[in-house]
Amino acid sequence: MAEYNTMELMIVSAARELENAATVGVGTGAPCAAAMLAQKTHAPDLVILFEAGGISPQLPEMPISVGDSRTFYRAVKAGGMCDIMESCARGLVDYTFLGGAQIDAYGNLNSTVIGDYNAPKVRLPGSGGANDFASFCWRTMVITPQDKRRFVEKVDFITTPGWLSGGNSRDESGLPLGTGPYRIITNMAIMGFEEKSKRMIVLSLNPGSTKEDVQENCGFELLWSEDLSETSPPTAEELDILRNQVDPKGYIINR
């Protein structure tokens, strides 16, 4: 079996969630690497969208920002932010990848403040387009390291809506029916959300991780799938493409 690090495992796991001909809104970093890997393996017709306006580029190499000229390379359209956000609002974007400083049991994300909003311990960058993406794209995925400081019972501020307080609360809030958090991909496991409660549920354990490891590094009680499995490790082919075509300089995979 080929050797790999946890970042490579997370990127490969995320890429496998993207089917051919789907649409995905990404930022830079691991989400972009996952989309590029999917496009170069099993999903050649994957449509990648960048917040700054690049629509379906054929990325020659890893861009350094959502406005990098490479995000427009051989694109279907060199649009703008309004084109991307309007596409999300019209229900044309299947997936998006997001992140944040905190995530709770219902997939709500905080990238605004740590502590009280008016007198925070830390002031964070804020939403950018994250709220729009999570509100209107059909399925939201998160790639993130896992620890108790990040996985909290209640986020200090809801920058980006997940399943809100669970159950039907997201639908009742007025957000589009059928949208919401889908997968949480960490260095330890892959999570989804239980159908009725909308609470985070562990679907598979990454190689080398145990149930005790995953729960110990989470600030709330996790649910566990009855069909709990082990995450399939990256194949030699996936690693070769990731290392030599997607991120040959190791900007992302060597973090």
Report the chain's mean pLDDT, rounded to a whole number: 96
Among candidate residues 8, 17, 19, 51, the one labeled active-site is 51
- Give percent of the chain with pLDDT exceeding 70: 100
Q: What structural domains and CATH numbers belong to the chain? A: 6-246 (3.40.1080.10)
The mean pLDDT of 107-134, rounded to a whole number, is: 95
The mean pLDDT of 101-105, rounded to a whole number, is: 97
Q: How confident is the model at residue 244 (pLDDT cuts 50, 70, 90)?
A: very high
Question: What is the pLDDT, as a whole number, of residue 167?
Answer: 98
Instruction: Give the pLDDT confidence of 3-55 residue by residue, as tens digits.
Output: 999 999 999 999 999 999 999 999 889 999 999 999 999 999 999 999 999 99
Q: Are strands 189-193 and 180-185 parallel, antiparallel or unpaired?
A: antiparallel
51 is catalytic: yes
Question: What is the pLDDT, as a whole number, of residue 51?
Answer: 93
| Reduced 3-state DSSP string for the chain | CCCCCHHHHHHHHHHHCCCCCCEEEECCCHHHHHHHHHHHCCCCCCEEEECCCEECCCCCCCCCCCCCHHHHCCCCEECCHHHHHHHHHCCCCCEEEECCCEECCCCCEECCEEECCCCEEEECCCCCCHHHHHHHCCEEEEECCCCCCCECCCCCCCCECCCCCCCCHHHHCCCCCCCEEEEEECCCEEEEECCCCCCEEEEEECCCCCHHHHHHCCCCCCEEEEEEEECCCCCHHHHHHHHHHHCCCCCCCCC
CB distance 9 to 234 below 8 Å: yes
- Is the pLDDT at 1 greater than 70? The verdict is no
